[in-house]
Chain A
Amino acid sequence: MSESSVSTVPTDPGAARGTEVADTATDDLRQASLWSDAWRQLRRNKLFVIAAGLLLVLVVMAVFPQLFTSIKTPAEGGCTNALANSKVGPSADAWFGYDIFGCDQYTNVIYGARVSMIIGVVVVGGATLIGVVLGALAGFFGGWFDVLMARITDIVFGLPLLLGAIIILNVFPSRGLTQVCIALIILGWPTTLRLFRASVISVKDTDYVAAARALGASNGRIILKHILPNAIAPVLVYSTIAVGGIIAAEATLSFLGIGLQQPAISWGLQIGSGQRLIRTAPHIILFPSLFLSVTVLSFILLGDALRDALDPKLR
């Protein structure tokens, strides 16, 4: 996830489209903007197809968990008087066994997808938005704003992610989904800012930006129409991989007891509650761990495939 590994040499889709127009009359197949090219390459990548398929299943699981299991969660009135089943291992009736309260572990794990997906998407979306907006301003205009941003990001980078999150989460009187998202966004946006700022700087002195300016384009138009599409690729790759990292961070915080709190349903909480039972009932830890790892893996594979497709140097 190092910044250097996701750098790309930007090419202007506008410029590429210019040559396309001339070509389309003779040969319809030679459409080759960076993005359409990348998409074509992605579809041929087996790992991308597998990762995207897995994520599709996980998204459906997060939105409609009822499709996967008919058993209700405790919050919906399911799983009452079930203590007789406490810690019973996997069987044909309950594929993943039962947790310490005698609730069906398969249902728990299915419902756990929702929290992970929401946190991953909200945090990375928020951090990317803040980072891209501020990074564009810092990179394009430079000056005191750039210096200020550099100092602020220096300070935030001084705090390791998990420690920073532990401290921020302690500020809140009660902790839940919103608080975990806020803490992780606060710590996440500086990386995106630095990445996008560097990328903007490498693009802003190109000829097509000078041409746009000579034609009288405003700064806003130059940033939105010419710089953004050419500078966003490294951020997209980083953000995709970062979703996996954020999901793992949420699970870690919930596991430590400082993220989501019971009765929320989260893979991290499920693993935390099984912590003391590792000798007698390892299945309680096993299944949420498996789902968590596969989810993180899918985002990493997706990001890797995206990098391969967007980096012209590798072709």
Chain B
Amino acid sequence: MARYIARRLLLAIPVLLGASFLIFAMVFALPGDPVRALGGDRPISAAVANQLRDEYNLDDSLPVQYVKYIGGLAQGDLGTDFSGRPVSEILVQTVPVTVKLALVALAFEAVFGLVAGVLAGIRAKSFFDSLVLVSTTLVVSIPVFVLGFLAQYTLGLKLGLFPIAGVASGFSGYLLPGFVLAALSLAYVARLTRTSLVENLRNDYVRTAKAKGLTPLSVVGKHTLRNSLIPVVTFLGADLGALLSGAVVTEGIFNIPGLGRAVFQAIQSQEGTVVVGIVTLFVFVFIIFNLLVDVLYAALDPRIRYE
């Protein structure tokens, strides 16, 4: 197991470097002069411009800029934005907000997705099963931002059940955006759980368990659900990318001061270091999360062993 994890970690390094250079190169190949953009309509004096260029290594060639950036990264220095605020400070402020939002979304996915999937799976072809199928198909085809407005308008504005935007009112402000962020994955989780459960319920060991006289609860809970969850866990790993992208849209619509909103604002103001810092962090999280998922397989299914 340790060797397997070590090998996966080594394989992750070129991916991380490649992805961060790709992002870096694209962001810094941006047309337009960020220093001049900083001055707006009034031109910046040559001395100030030169100092800024020097400070942000803007006169070096692209590869040199990248090496300097990675060097700083290794020392925990994510760079500063053009108003002098360190990127790490932005992260400190926004990460807790986004993590909270993601956890709320994950909770919705796990609770509603799994329950709907299990109920539909044990009563395949029933009315509830069809209901889950139809409603998940509908949810999958509504883009996140449309769903966001729909929820904001009906549940927030018309019914007044939830705050419409912002997190000033505390935890309740996270519920609606968390649900919207979760909706798409929730549908997939429900479907995957159902399909996987139906398939596994046909197995011989399930028949044996039933023949032994085990209660239906223990047949499903102990003997079937555990290995039915493998595709679901895989999906959650791959889905983190969608969750992070969705955060940009959801945080924008509901005005949540998290990472997603920070990324979008940074790209619009051409703050290269901020974009690269946050997106590299996203990629880090994404790759490590997928590694964890691989290891989780072995815990869920004793038939899988890593040598």
Pairwise interchain contact A163-B286, C-beta atoms closer than 8 A: no
Known: A158-B286, A171-B26, A171-B30. Contact between A300 and B137, CB under 8 A?
Answer: yes
Closest CB of chain B to A135's CB: distance in Å? 19
Q: Is B58 part of the binding interface, using a Cβ–Cβ cutoff of 8 Å? A: no
Question: Which residues 149-185 of A have a CB within 8 angstroms of B?
Answer: 151, 154-155, 157-163, 166-168, 170-171, 173
The stretch of B102-110, B148-156, B213-221 in contact with A is B148-156
Q: Is A265 part of the binding interface, using a Cβ–Cβ cutoff of 8 Å? A: no
Pairwise interchain contact B15-A155, C-beta atoms closer than 8 A: yes
Q: What's the Cα separation between A244 and B143 when bound, in Å?
A: 10
Chain B contact residues, majority secondary structure: helix
Inter-chain contacts of B19 with A (CB < 8 A): 155, 158-159
Pairwise interchain contact B140-A300, C-beta atoms closer than 8 A: yes
- Selected from A4, A154, A244, the residue in CB contact (under 8 A) with B231 is A4
Known: A155-B15, A166-B267. Contact between A160 and B282, CB under 8 A?
Answer: yes
Inter-chain contacts of A257 with B (CB < 8 A): 268
Q: What's the Cα separation between A229 and B215 when bound, in Å?
A: 48
Known: A2-B235, A155-B18. Contact between A293 and B142, CB under 8 A?
Answer: yes
Q: What's the Cα separation between A160 and B249 when bound, in Å?
A: 13
Pairwise interchain contact B252-A256, C-beta atoms closer than 8 A: yes
Q: What's the Cα separation between A293 and B253 when bound, in Å?
A: 18
Question: Which residues 71-119 of A have a CB within 8 angstroms of B?
Answer: none
Inter-chain contacts of A278 with B (CB < 8 A): 149, 152-153, 157
Pairwise interchain contact A158-B143, C-beta atoms closer than 8 A: no
Q: Is B182 part of the binding interface, using a Cβ–Cβ cutoff of 8 Å? A: no
Q: Is B275 part of the binding interface, using a Cβ–Cβ cutoff of 8 Å? A: yes
Q: Is B45 part of the binding interface, using a Cβ–Cβ cutoff of 8 Å? A: no
Pairwise interchain contact B242-A158, C-beta atoms closer than 8 A: no
Q: What's the Cα separation between A257 and B249 when bound, in Å?
A: 11
Question: Which residues 125-156 of B have a CB within 8 angstroms of A?
Answer: 137-138, 140-146, 149-150, 152-153
Pairwise interchain contact A167-B15, C-beta atoms closer than 8 A: no
Interface size on B, residues (CB 8 A): 54
Pairwise interchain contact B149-A289, C-beta atoms closer than 8 A: yes
Inter-chain contacts of B192 with A (CB < 8 A): 2
Inter-chain contacts of A154 with B (CB < 8 A): 14-15, 18
Inter-chain contacts of B137 with A (CB < 8 A): 297, 300-301, 304
Question: Which residues 49-73 of A have a CB within 8 angstroms of B?
Answer: none
Bitwise interface map of A from 236 to 252 toward B, beta carbon under 8 Å scored 1, else 0: 00000000100010011
Q: Is B287 part of the binding interface, using a Cβ–Cβ cutoff of 8 Å? A: yes
Q: Is A296 part of the binding interface, using a Cβ–Cβ cutoff of 8 Å? A: yes
Pairwise interchain contact B31-A296, C-beta atoms closer than 8 A: no
Of the candidates A159, A257, A297, the one having the most CB atoms from chain B within 10 angstroms of its own CB is A159
Question: Which residues 277-295 of A have a CB within 8 angstroms of B?
Answer: 278-279, 282, 285, 289, 292-294
Can you sample 21 A-B contacts with CB below 8 Å? A4-B231, A155-B22, A157-B241, A158-B15, A159-B241, A160-B245, A161-B242, A162-B245, A163-B263, A163-B279, A163-B282, A170-B267, A171-B26, A171-B29, A258-B267, A289-B149, A292-B143, A293-B141, A296-B143, A297-B138, A300-B140
